[in-house]
Amino acid sequence: MTYQHDFKQSVQHPEEFWREKATAIKWFQEPKQILTQNAAGFYRWFEGGQLNTAYLCLDYHIEQGRGDQDALIYDSPVTDTIEKFTYRELRDKVAKFAGVLAAQGVGRGDAVVIYMPMIPEAVIGMLACARLGAIHSVVFGGFAPHELAVRIDDARPKVILSASCGIEFERILPYKPLVDKALREAQHQPNAHIMFVRSQQPETLDGPGEVDWAQAVEHAEPVDPVPVDAHDPLYILYTSGTTGKPKGIIRDNGGHAVMMKWSLGATYDTHPGEVFWAASDIGWAVGHSYIVYAPLINGCTTILFEGKPIRTPDAGTFWRVIAQHKVKTFFTAPTAIRAVKKEDFEGKLFRKYDVSSLKYLFVAGERCDPATYDWASQLLGIPVIDHWWQTESGAPMLANMAGYGLQPIKRGAAATPVPGFQMEILGEDGSILGPGEEGYVTIKLPLPPGCLPTLWGDDARFQQSYLNRFPGYYLSGDGGYKDADNYFYIMGRVDDVINVAGHRLSTGEMEEMVAAHPAVAECAVVGIADELKGQRPVGLVVLKDGVEIASDVLEAELVADIRAKIGAVAFFKTCIVVKRLPKTRSGKILRKNIRMLADGVHFETPSTIDDPSILQEIKETLAQEKVGLAFV
């Protein structure tokens, strides 16, 4: 089948297209209907189907004779460990740990929060939830206790899983104080906190509800997979929206399994028995889909990497892993490639390894800038494929799909829509824009299987955030344009979301925190361009009348506050005092123009601006403080 054929079929006859794709997974009970709408009018896939995602990831492959193949390779340069798990070994560990959870009262439909570093137990915890029909919610280990508490209160887990520490480069980060603090802040209290104690950070677990992972496993009975409905949630993954309250993206079992099964072959050209590596974190959607679910559902070997692209121990670490484990397909973020490029521009470390197994490098998380693309493709001599997706989709929406045979690669473009995603660029008034015209990146409904069916406990927010702006279309929150060949160019968010080193963060949330400082009358937090991280947040504050505080003192307080509340990943390091903020006559702060000033991007002064002289004032302050690529 050609890409063109499948794309056409997927948008003209979505039910037939996905009915056929659904035959690739083993259902306990076949779906009765392919596409339906619920009472709220939201689309649902595979009504009446019954399955178990952990069964598809593990037991199914053992039945097919893959029991002795490596399912998971844990490669941890920070602990100097490499550990391999066959499908059978992983299944046995998951089944036993499911027994631990069941003994704590976890069953179908119960939520479990997982706050863990990149260790096998994190994957075992996720799959054990799936085996029971429970709903996991993984919280990225880089988030601070406040963020964990917010997620605990929203997901209302029966149990929380953690480990005694994470390891960042050479630093041991004890997790217990973080979990304890989050539990003190949260209103909701789980029944149990099961902790995997790592040798790097011993802990005594004697508080109420505290359970030692290893001891509990010793006494546990293995559990068989529990059939669940296709519509039952497999997981909730919180992602940044425009306010302090994160959005709980739901992934259902049925649509997700079908999409994961199909996409690994169709988009990534990776097949049973081959080695796939997504150098992401299980705290992000990429980690859920392409470290855990898609490679395992497809009978591949997946790599769980506990390290960074650099300094673990050096910028050759990616190439060492690829050579050592014979990776065919590698997925990372452009920011990680930039980090490697900075430290090994000549490729001296790269040349130490035989990476002949590698056929593709896929990048996502932010736009792959042409300089990064050029460097990586020249160094590697293989296709470097930018593709676009979101936590909401759980799978690529735009990609040069290797499984159909690659189309020409265009630098700066995320290529063409993946079958199932009927993308349109819409103007302010909802009209469909043509090639070269920049507007809102949207997808005509229905979204294909695996995309969020709604937000956890919040249909109204789902409707309002994604569906109301352009009826009949999903609003991605990104802006961009397409060219005459239907290649799409994603140019960045049109809302208060930024991407810092591949981490999705809300400037709206940071703004709420800055605004809460007693000295601050009003403020704006904007994402400005950063050479390494893609974007970084910068605060601009106007002081309250009569308040006297040195700007460096205020900056230090706000930096510490955001680090403590959101976490170090927020990378909020700069906050400058300005006299006034530029606004429209209706009082809306012109954040986009502040960002463009810092980035040195030319723009016409907006006609709606209240006082154009403020833009000049801001420009002078940014220049004086050397904030922004335009001024360094």
Binding residues vs ligand AMP (CB under 6 A): 239, 284-285, 364-367, 386-391, 414, 476-478, 490, 493, 499, 504
Tokens 């693309």 label which residue?
373
The dihedral over CA atoms of 615, 618, 622, 628, expressed in degrees to the nearest 10, equals: -40
Output the CA–CA distances (angstroms, integers) from residue 274 to 295, 331, 434, in the order listed. 9, 14, 40
Q: Which of 18, 268, 481, 571 binds ligand COA (CB under 6 A)?
A: 571
Residue span binding ligand COA (CB under 6 A) among the ranges 90-98, 198-206, 549-557, 567-575: 567-575
Residue span binding ligand COA (CB under 6 A) among the ranges 157-165, 239-247, 332-340, 401-409: 332-340
- CA angle, residues 401, 492, 376, in degrees to nearest 5: 50
Residue 375 binds ligand COA (CB under 6 A)? no
Question: Residue 289 pairs with which residues in a beta bridge?
Answer: none
Residue 489, C-beta contacts closer than 8 angstroms, at least 6 positions apart: 367, 412, 413, 414, 480, 481, 482, 483
Q: Which of 309, 316, 394, 453 binds ligand COA (CB under 6 A)?
A: 309
Q: Which of 71, 163, 339, 597 binds ligand COA (CB under 6 A)?
A: 339
Q: Which partner, ligand COA, ligand AMP, none, binds residue 417 by CB below 5 to 8 Å per kind?
A: none
* Cβ contact 130:54 at 8 Å: yes
Give the C-alpha separation, 290 to 278, whole Å.
6
Nearer to ligand COA, 40 or 532 (CB): 532
Residue 173 binds ligand COA (CB under 6 A)? yes
Q: Which partner, ligand COA, ligand AMP, none, binds residue 339 by CB below 5 to 8 Å per kind?
A: ligand COA
Nearer to ligand COA, 299 or 502 (CB): 502
Q: Which partner, ligand COA, ligand AMP, none, binds residue 477 by CB below 5 to 8 Å per kind?
A: ligand AMP
Nearer to ligand COA, 25 or 179 (CB): 179
Q: Which of 333, 401, 505, 622 binds ligand COA (CB under 6 A)?
A: 333
Residue 160 binds ligand COA (CB under 6 A)? no
Residue 364 binds ligand COA (CB under 6 A)? yes
Give the C-alpha separation, 338 to 363, whole Å.
12
Least distance from C-beta 4 to ligand AMP, angstroms? 22
Q: Which of 308, 325, 482, 493 binds ligand COA (CB under 6 A)?
A: 308
Residue 168 binds ligand COA (CB under 6 A)? yes
Q: Which partner, ligand AMP, ligand COA, none, binds residue 137 by CB below 5 to 8 Å per kind?
A: none
Output the CA–CA distances (angstroms, integers) from residue 32 to 15, 25, 49, 315, 349, in the order listed. 12, 15, 6, 51, 54
Residue span binding ligand COA (CB under 6 A) among the ranges 12-20, 459-467, 489-497, 565-573: 565-573
Cα torsion 345, 351, 353, 357: sign: positive
Q: Which partner, ligand COA, ligand AMP, none, binds residue 145 by CB below 5 to 8 Å per kind?
A: none
Tokens 């028995």 label which residue?
273
Q: Which partner, ligand AMP, ligand COA, none, binds residue 386 by CB below 5 to 8 Å per kind?
A: ligand AMP
Question: Residue 474 pairs with which residues in a beta bridge?
Answer: 443
Count residues near ligand COA (CB under 6 A). 25
Q: What is the DSSP letter of 289?
A: I
Q: Which partner, ligand COA, ligand AMP, none, binds residue 21 by CB below 5 to 8 Å per kind?
A: none
Q: Where are the alpha helices (DSSP H) in 87-201?
A: 87-103, 120-132, 145-155, 176-185
Q: Is the previous residue joined to 449 through a cis bond, with omega within 30 degrees of 0?
A: no
Least distance from C-beta 197 to ligand COA, angstroms? 18
Tokens 């937090």 label which residue?
525
Torsion-angle region of residue 343: left (phi > 0), alpha (psi -120 to 50) or beta?
A: alpha
Least distance from C-beta 426 to ligand AMP, angstroms? 16
Nearer to ligand COA, 279 or 627 (CB): 279
Least distance from C-beta 99 to ligand COA, angstroms? 28
Q: Which two tokens stand for residue 541?
A: 């504050």
- CA angle, residues 138, 140, 145, in degrees to nearest 5: 100
Residue 569 binds ligand COA (CB under 6 A)? yes
For 553-578, give the DSSP string. HHHHHHHHHHHHHT-GGG---EEEE-
* Cβ contact 407:3 at 8 Å: yes
Q: Where are the alpha helices (DSSP H) in 175-252?
A: 176-185, 213-218
Residue 497 binds ligand COA (CB under 6 A)? no
Give the C-alpha separation, 299 to 60, whole Å.
9
Least distance from C-beta 74 to ligand COA, angstroms? 16
Q: Which of 336, 397, 402, 558 binds ligand COA (CB under 6 A)?
A: 336
Residue 365 binds ligand COA (CB under 6 A)? yes
Give the C-alpha separation, 457 to 373, whole Å.
40
Binding region for ligand COA (CB under 6 A): 141-142, 166, 168, 173, 279-280, 284, 286, 308-310, 332-333, 335-336, 339, 364-365, 501-503, 568-569, 571
